[in-house]
Amino acid sequence: MAPNLVHLVFLLLALITPLILFLLGRSRGSHRLPPGPRPLPVIGNLHQLNTLVPHRKLLSLSRIYGPIMQLRLGLVPTVVVSSPRAAESFLKTHDVAFSSRPRLEVLEVLPYRDRSTVFSPVNGYWRQMRRFCVTNLVNKDWGMLRRETFRNVMERIADAVAAKGGVGATVDVSEVLRGGFEDMACRMVFGCWGEREGVDIGTIVHEYLMIAAKMNTSDYLPFLRPFDVLGLAKRAKKINETFDQVIESIIRQHDQNNLAEQEEGDFIRSLLTLLGQAVPGSNSRQARVIDRESIKAVLLDMILGSFESTWAVVEWAMSELMRNPRVMECLQGELQTIVGMSRMVEESDLRYLDYLEMVVKETFRLYPPGPLLVPHEAAEDTVVEGGYFIQKGTRVFINVWAIGRDHEVWKENPEEFYPERFIGSRVDVKGCNFELIPFGAGRRICPGMNVGLTSIKLALAQFVHCFDWKLPTGMSPADLDMTEEQCDYEIAYADHSSTLGILARDEPSLETTNGSMATLNTVFSGTSFCGCDQQGLLLNSLVRTDRIIGLTEQIQS
Ligand code: HEM
């Protein structure tokens, strides 16, 4: 299109959009819309969310307009839900109406876009693939893999400490945690380690999540799509080409029945048995055949869901434990009493560790990895709690981050990390108590919840059981920066003409302005997909001589 024509189209759209929206608004007749801030012409309330941490801004707006608040983001009517009661209305009472997902622009460039279980509408295909993943991946017994993974992680820490001169050496906890969770996820989903064809799968996952987390203007102002203003469609295409090459090579290896590459309960091999099967599509008359693209889409969903969210929770928990020595002491005390100091924590111990359970819940309350969940969309016109009318096609954000800080629910110092608030409480994270829904609730609830929870508890327990930790010299708990910031950096490709061969991601510096080492707590939480991340937790490890015999010897040798 010639530039003049483009400008003309843009101008026309800018002029007629408010009129269309006005007429649409009128046609809703007597329906009562939720309150919300007044939108500007064309951009609506987009300017108010021009922030790296939209869940914070949305919380402050909801304190003015209420727990069900209507915004207009560009041309998209959007509702933000910020209380347990309102969340229950959307995710339980009207679960069917709000289980759909919006079609995001970055997905349009992906060949597997309509086969993803995360972004598929609720239909026969979604149901079947989700059930398949739960049976063949999530519900498998991964106990041995977790045991091996976290033993390796503890040994890696001990090795790193020994290499740096022994007890008291500084360890990059983020790095070790990320590596452990990445390897475990790759072995579960792909049956191989995290490095493939010279490409680190973790870097691919991170890039996907970064792209999805960005607030993409084209999603809200569709007439900007041809311009790819933020370059996200280009980035998505590029990372997808890389993923495609990596995943093709992994699938080929499983296809060829190369047993050396395979682990017990091989998920890819089970997926391949589905090839060619017909499953119901969006309605009972429409069948869909499972093809190679469906298999790649499911593998991508599973690997994206698997590890960033999990290790981020352990990092947040470790940061809070460093800030709260009393809580650390209680947790170590519980481990010492229940597990003792002559062996490592085992999965079978977890059910007896009540204080650990409370520490994990408290971490989820304050730092849900998906502060706004994955966006939902209204599949039909619905009247919700409070008599508010929600129009079909409205995007729905459930502000879990705000719900975790709701003064009405968490009456005693909601901002404080205080695991004891759960003593005698039946609230848990499994989707029945709407005051704490880090995994969502209803039919879109995270299918990986149980596997994620067990890994988090085991990793955290072993971290604090095997080692004593202290902040690097010169740093006090008050220096720990617990605010989130968006961490975006482009990955470097080895060769611009080829998609394979990612060099590295350009990590943000770990030095703070005053020169001391500090945490860079990072959240990436655009309004499309949200994930929480935290980077660069550096701690000094101190292994007490009465702790875990093997590790102590390893460090001292
Ligand atoms: C701490 C760990 C985890 C957290 C906090 C978490 C959180 C979430 C959240 C908030 C959602 C969106 C729910 C909604 O839209 O209402 C979700 C969806 C999903 N998660 Fe997880 N997740 C975790 C671990 C996992 C794991 C380990 C897997 C895979 C093995 C996984 C796979 C998925 C999938 C496939 C979906 C999409 C479900 C659908 O749309 O039907 N997640 N997760």
Condensed to tens digits (0 to 9), the pLDDT of residues 2-28 reads: 556 656 665 566 556 555 554 454 445
313 lines ligand 1 (CB under 6 A): yes
Interface confidence, given as ipTM, is 0.99
Could you identify the atom of ligand 1 that is nearest to the CA of residue 301?
A: 35
Nearest partner of 529 among 179, 124, 103, judged by Cα: 103
83 lines ligand 1 (CB under 6 A): no
Longest dimension (CA), the chain: 78
Condensed to tens digits (0 to 9), the pLDDT of residues 503-524 reads: 444 443 322 222 222 232 333 2
Share of the chain above pLDDT 70, in %: 77
Q: Does residue 121 have a pLDDT over 60? A: yes
User: Ligand 1 centre and the CA of 431: distance in Å?
Assistant: 12
* Chain centroid to CA 361: 16
Return d(Cα 378, Cα 32) in angstroms, integer: 16
Identify the pLDDT of residue 3: 52
Mean pLDDT (whole number) for 227-234: 90
Return d(Cα 407, Cα 416) in angstroms, integer: 12
Q: Which of 120, 443, 446, 534 to mutate to test the pocket of ligand 1 (most atoms within 8 A of CB)?
A: 446
Going by CA atoms, what residue is nearest to atom 43 of ligand 1?
A: 446
Nearest partner of 77 among 383, 392, 375, judged by Cα: 392
User: Ligand 1 centre and the CA of 316: distance in Å?
Assistant: 18
User: Ligand 1 centre and the CA of 261: distance in Å?
Assistant: 27
Could you identify the atom of ligand 1 that is nearest to the CA of residue 302?
A: 29
Entry pTM: 0.87
User: Ligand 1 centre and the CA of 324: distance in Å?
Assistant: 29
* Contact (Cβ atoms closer than 8 angstroms) between residue 82 and residue 58: yes
User: Ligand 1 centre and the CA of 547: distance in Å?
Assistant: 35
User: Ligand 1 centre and the CA of 321: distance in Å?
Assistant: 25
CB atoms under 10 Å from CB of 263, counted, come to 14
